[in-house]
Amino acid sequence: MFVKSCHIIVGNQDTKGAEGGDNSNDKKEEGSSNSQGAAGGDNSDSKATEKKEEEKKSALFDAFAVSLGLKDEPKIESLLDTVDFNGIVKYIKDGKAKNIITMAGAGISTSAGIPDFRSPETGLYDNLQKYNLPEPTAVFSIDYFKENPEPFFMLARELWPGVFKPTTCHYFIRMLQEKGLLLRHFTQNIDTLESVAGLDPEVCVEAHGHFRTGHCIQCRAEYTQDWMKERIMKPSIPKCEAEGCDGVVKPDIVFFGENLPFRFLKCMSEDFGKCDLLIIMGTSLLVQPFASLVNRTKENVPRMYINLENSCPPKLDPIMTVIFGSGFDFDGENNYRDIFWQGTCDDGCMALAEALGWGEELKNLVTTEHAKIDVANPDKGTTSAKNADCTSKKADATPKKADTTPKKTENTPKKSETPKTSDKTPPKPEAATPKATPGSESKKTPPKKGNGNSTK
């Protein structure tokens, strides 16, 4: 609903512009024409909105009837031959997946040596005691940053982009792009490894931002990554150099309490109606509005979830589904589209690649690209043991059944990665957008391969 309201606001702004032409003394007829065009646009928008509202009312009425047992839940025909890992593979092989959307969290980067946020003992939040924070999430709070930016910059020195190599998972996403199958990649990560892996910037939506640019939190002057790095690594707190300003320069990552980039809203609104396969990797999907993206596909589109734990919310009752969207139904007897593959993101992607006949191609791509990074950065020890191992071991192309024992999940808000602003021009005020609550990352537990296969 929020995105719809954004579109209405844009329409109103356009209308005002047209009405401004209507006030011209020199071109009254043209102004009148513009006004009529704007009015026509208003009528069209109004009718479309009314139609959607009627559809919602009808869906809510039907859901209420289903809840009371007055109506059977509508049967939706599956697009998959079998609702399991092999069904997804065949669906791709048969050329039915031409507009794949991938969604990713911190779990796709852990094998590169970058910690996720909430894994016990190894997660970022469990290792922030040395910064003397009032609470772990404060390191990404914009209010706390304005009072005390030092803890964030101490952490930034450890996580600064350029020290890590993309993982097998990153290169699998690149392969989807090169094969013309990837419509969009939505990521919560701020590590910029998608860019290092060769993903087209137009394909990648960094929902929680990046380190490539930064802005003064007072005057909004823009600074480059190299400028920030030089000062952060000294170490010192980067301060604005604009005349008369001494504000702190913050990398363009979205903190708690900040708005998400407008591009996230735009792509969210435009892409998911075209999506014919959704692959979610390395995120617990507990942070909004990123988590809500899984509910924006058409109701029959297959959804595959690759993660160490099945921490996603379960399917809701019919009425709640209409209001909030449907959760996953991995083990339901009426499941027609949801597949859970339990294991690391690298293993899951390699399993898919092997089953699709792309295994050797993916291994060679990882090896070649890592070698290029080593040549370009001879003094940086960027290779992690985990990352190197991914290319040498063969993933099981037929995953085992996942452990369906209920697992305890965290209900506290997570911290994630963060935002992108302008590239070279002075930043403009962003449209009102959902507030960010960074961090939906995978949890680290002893990995089990599997897919939690559900049958039709």
- Sequential pLDDT tens for the chain (456 residues): 333 333 333 333 333 333 334 444 444 444 444 444 444 555 666 776 676 566 555 555 554 554 555 555 556 788 999 999 999 999 999 999 999 999 999 899 999 988 765 555 544 555 566 677 888 778 888 999 999 999 899 888 877 766 689 999 999 999 999 999 999 999 999 888 999 999 999 999 999 998 889 999 999 999 999 999 999 998 889 999 999 999 999 999 999 888 888 999 999 999 999 999 999 999 988 888 888 899 899 989 999 999 998 876 655 444 444 444 457 888 888 889 999 999 999 999 999 999 999 999 999 999 999 999 888 877 655 444 344 444 444 434 444 444 444 343 343 333 333 333 333 333 333 444 444 444 434 333 333 334 444 434
The annotation places the binding site at 216, 219, 240, 245
Please report, in range form, the residues annotated as the binding site for Zn(2+).
Answer: 216, 219, 240, 245
Same domain, 135 and 9: no
Among the three residues 35, 67, 99, which one is the final residue of a domain in this structure? 67
* Whether 43 and 181 share a structural domain: no
A 10 A CB-CB count for 103 gives: 25
Instruction: At 84, list the tokens.
Output: 């399991």
Select from 129, 162, 191, 119 the least CA-distant residue to 417: 191
Domain of 299, CATH number, reads: 3.40.50.1220
What domain count does the chain have? 2
- Which residues span the domain enclosing 109? 85-209+256-392
Picking from 392, 408, 423, the residue at the C-terminal end of a domain is 392
Cite the active site residues: 208
- Do both 147 and 194 map to the same domain? yes
Q: Are residues 139 and 189 in the same domain?
A: yes
Query: Contact 369/391 with Cβ under 8 angstroms?
Result: no
Domain boundary among 340, 370, 392: 392
pTM exceeds 0.85: no
